[in-house]
Amino acid sequence: MSALSDAIARSFATGEPERQAVSPLRALGRRQLSGFEVLAQSVATTAPAVSMVVLPVTMFTHQMLLSGLITIVVATVVVSLIAVCVSQFTRRMAAAGGLYSFVFQGLGTRAALTAGVAMLTKYVGSAVMTLYHGGQAVITTLSFLGLEMRGPADRVLIYAGIALVILGCLVRGVRFAALAILAIETCSLLFIVGLMVVTGAGGQHAVVPPEGSSSHGLLTMALVAVFALAGFESATFFGPEAKRPLATVTRTVLLTPMICGALFIFAGWAAWSGRADTLVNAYLHGTSTGVAPAVVIALNIGLGTSWLASAMASSNAASRLVYSMGVESVVPRLFARVQRGYRTPYAALALIVCTVCVGAATFGIVGKSTAFGHVQLAARTAVIAAYVLVAVASVQFLRRIQEYTALTLCAGVAGSAAGGTVLTYLLFTTASHGLVMVPAVMLTLLLSGSAWHLFLQWHHPASLMSIGVFDSAETEDVLPGAGVFATDATGNLALTASARTHEMR
């Protein structure tokens, strides 16, 4: 109590500073989101309702019921280890750049730019895939109602309309978007879990053409399970906008893999015990295997809303990354513009949503071609690469500030080793089959950081000094006299020490 009393007394005796310290991310509107809203963003990005159907389908396809269930458990543990690594940053700083900003703190500029490319690849790729599937679910549902939308113009209209709704929700405000995402994903989960429980004893057997049980099937199952859990880190992009960023985001990062992992393990158990057969048939074959039309319609509604919520959440997260890069001048400053009333980065949102809409509409017209598989594989490869980078960065960061423990060191080493093993296995498997997509993506990621760094060094050298922007304390956040503000390397005022520490020095 004496320290608090001293601080309050000092605040009355200290005058207002001549120059106010402001956070470089204050334009976003700090301290808006509650814990539930941040959790909704994080969970929705993973599209749990969809994954609860896709995972059983993958298990049946590769004849991996028990081993598939075990793979889901292992994937949950590995992603939880990555979450522990990410939490080492979130409990110390809030950054709109997410993993991109965190990797900078541990591994420097080139690695951060590489992580930025990887995260953009992951989130834009995920949004394209989920928007495509969500649009297809809308088209299928409309056909059940007697409205056929089969022509190219009709499909473009559907995707453009959905994209406009998503963009409108995201620009309307971060809280509005979070609440919309929460409502949509909650309804989707209730649909899928309810259908799995109610229809589980329907007496159907899953009709899935098997691809055989092989090491290739194990790799596919592992990739699907990891990618189903990927997205928990999207909460980190909203740290500056959270009411209690260091506590809320850290809690969300740690809880999301556990919550989604539990749901996916339940789905794996349902597949192993036969309770997912009806849903799998409804997903793959509609009513042709005897599934009731009401079940097929309900499934399409549940999956469609989950896909669209994921597309919205992924676009929202990607926009914060682009915004952060715009603030740093790593990309044109145009993308750092914020709508004054709603405090949302409208320029970055427009770029991301338009890109996603074009990609999804293209696949909506031409169908799931080989290019769609390439997008899927690129997104999966990119997110695993980003996880490896942030795991290594966490170890380096904690060693630099001398705050590492045995637990954090083990999490970093185990997480990076597991991610590296999956990437190596993926590279070897695809190369042995003559596929060049994964080697091309990995080579692009490896070169992207250095190439981008070289470009900035030639054309915008000042931006290299501003990478790693995170939300910092403002003058109004600190009692007068309780902290010392000094000019940092970028020329901005930043809190450097408490007044008592400064006096002791």
Residue 504: the pLDDT is 41
CA distance 281 to 294: 14
**Beta carbons of 40 and 174 less than 8 angstroms apart:** no
DSSP-derived secondary structure for 309-370 = HHHHHHHHHHHHHHHHHHHTTSS-GGGG--BTTTTB-HHHHHHHHHHHHHHHHHHHHH-S-H
Closest CA to 390 of 74, 93, 88: 88
Region for residue 274 given its phi and psi (left: phi exceeds 0; alpha: psi -120 to 50; beta: otherwise): left
| Residue 396: strand, helix, or coil | helix
CA distance 482 to 11: 7
Residue 483: the pLDDT is 61
The pTM of the full predicted model, rounded to 2 decimals, is 0.90
**Beta carbons of 332 and 345 less than 8 angstroms apart:** no
**Beta carbons of 43 and 185 less than 8 angstroms apart:** yes
Helices (H), 46-64: 48-61
* One pLDDT digit (tens) per residue for the chain, 505 residues: 465 566 555 555 555 556 667 788 888 988 889 999 999 999 999 999 999 999 999 999 888 899 999 999 999 999 999 999 999 999 999 999 999 999 999 999 999 999 999 999 999 999 999 999 999 988 988 887 778 777 888 999 999 999 999 999 999 988 888 888 888 888 888 878 877 777 665 556 777 766 654 557 788 899 999 999 999 999 999 999 999 999 999 999 999 999 999 999 999 998 898 888 888 888 888 888 888 888 888 888 888 889 999 999 999 999 999 999 999 999 999 999 999 899 999 999 999 999 999 999 999 998 887 889 889 999 999 999 999 999 999 999 999 999 988 889 999 999 999 999 999 988 888 877 777 888 888 999 989 999 999 999 999 998 998 898 888 777 666 656 556 666 665 556 565 655 444 444 4
Q: What domains can be seen in the chain, in order of their start residue? A: 26-471 (1.20.1740.10), 473-505 (no CATH)
Residue 502: the pLDDT is 46
End-to-end Cα separation, the chain, in angstroms: 24
Cα atoms in the Cβ-side hemisphere of radius 13 Å centred on 68? 29
